[in-house]
Structure 1
Amino acid sequence: MKLLMAVILTLGLMAMVAGQLPKNEDRMCVHQMLSQGDALFCKGNLNVIYPEIGDVGCMYVPECNDFRQKISSWSQPSIKYSQAHEGDSLKTGNISGSELTGYQPPGPPPQTGFHRYQFILFEQPERGKPITLSTKEKAKRGSWSISDFIKHFHLGSPVATNQFLTQNYHDF
């Protein structure tokens, strides 16, 4: 094992010395987890699954394999929560129900660094106001306050949360 590791290290150093770094597609795809502070948001085993990458929860979307570009065009991820009390749809990721607003893929503008994309799961109260968005909230995804929404509909504490970070694919 030590010999094999030495050979791999030597080949890597030779490529660097010769100035021939491997192309992006040839590099190993590293899934970097979020910092300890950012990881505190990830609670409750909520999975956010995109094609090709898998579960992006609590990590940076890797730059390899054009994942940062692809994630901006893929359809909505599969969301799974294995500890759901009732309903196999949330356990399997085949969620159905009333959609408040359509999915929009991540699209961080160029030269703005990493952006957070957060997923928050609440248990819907059995009784109470029907959950809807106001006209103002429907107009623009970023035009409303999540904390006001939670208070208005008496949602309480989240059951599970997750997030990932990505940046514009032209920025690296």
Structure 2
Amino acid sequence: MRLFSTLFILCVVPGCHMTTSTCDELLSSEDAQFCKGQLKVIYPHLVVDKCMIVPQMFREKISKDWGPPQIQLPGADEEKKYTLLMVDPDAPSRQKPSRAYWRHWLLVDAKGEALQRGDAGAVELSAYARPTPPRGTGLHRYQFLVFEQPEGQSLSLSPQENSSRGNWDPQAFVETFGLTGPVASLQFLTQNYKD
């Protein structure tokens, strides 16, 4: 689980509109190492291309209005296929993550050439679930990880995994299907918009 575990020093992002924050100088070296590979997560009025905290003015939109983001990976290999995981390691809270990892989105067979353009063109194994941290649980990390798939590999979730999104073991999924990486990773932090 070391791959998915990180500590974060929080930074405040005032007025981030259409671009990400520049608070990476406040991140610990471990935090900075988590975000790699030029991955972009693009919502209608918010582009996340570095580790950041979602500004207050976008928290309700990201939790209630916006659907799945556009995913762009300029460095994707045109000839390869990729898997995208979106997880919350802080469910239901960072202090007591008893439901971690919560699987928010799982895409497989994303074509490299499509990812370069920002069109995942993938098979959805878990439909997108908006980030909706419970009230009073503070900031949650929403992590996006892209893995390279082995050629000819068919990926699926077990019946047990399909029955619940919580307590998912992404590392076991990665190992079961021989995924390589992550080749790119990114995260944003947000909390309940009413807090």
Whether TM exceeds 0.5 here: the answer is: yes
| % identical aligned pairs | 47
TM-score, normalising length: structure 2:
0.67
The match for 2:176 is 152
Q: Is the aligned partner of 1:78 residue 2:70?
A: yes
Residue number among 1, 12, 23 corresponding to 1:33 in the alignment: 23
The match for 2:187 is 163
1:1-172 matches, cutoff 5 A? 29-30=15-16, 31=21, 33=23, 35-36=27-28, 37-55=30-48, 57-63=50-56, 66-73=57-64, 74-86=66-78, 87-128=112-153, 130-171=154-195
> Shift of residue 53 of structure 1?
1.6
Amino acid at match of 1:70: K
> Shift of residue 84 of structure 1?
1.1
Question: Could you give the per-residue CA deviations for residues 55-97 of structure 1, whole angstroms, max 9, x where no partner exists?
Answer: 254100001xx30111012100111000111043101111112
Amino acid at match of 1:132: S
RMSD: 1.7
8 Å CA contact retained: 1:32, 1:62:
no
8 Å CA contact retained: 1:50, 1:56:
no
8 Å CA contact retained: 2:146, 2:181:
no
User: How far apart, in 2, do the equivalents of 1:170 and 1:56 lie?
Assistant: 25
- SS for the counterpart of 2:126 is coil
8 Å CA contact retained: 1:42, 1:161:
yes
TM-score, normalising length: structure 1:
0.76
8 Å CA contact retained: 1:49, 1:78:
yes
Whichever of the two has the greater Rg, that structure is 1
Q: Mind listing any 5+ residue stretches in structure 1 that lack a counterpart?
A: 1-27
The match for 1:10 is none
Name the structure, 1 or 2, with higher relative contact order (CA <8 Å, separation 6+): 1
For these two proteins, the number of residue pairs brought into alignment is: 141
Change (3 A) 1:141 1:32: farther
Q: Which has the higher strand share?
A: 2
Structure 1 segments (4+ residues) deviating >3 Å: 30-34
User: How far apart, in 2, do the equivalents of 1:33 and 1:132 lie?
Assistant: 37
User: How far apart, in 1, do the equivalents of 2:182 and 2:35 lie?
Assistant: 11
Q: Which has the higher helix share?
A: 1
User: How far apart, in 2, do the equivalents of 1:138 and 1:156 lie?
Assistant: 23
Amino acid at match of 1:91: Q
Change (3 A) 1:111 1:32: farther
Q: Mind listing any 5+ residue stretches in structure 2 that lack a counterpart?
A: 1-13, 79-111
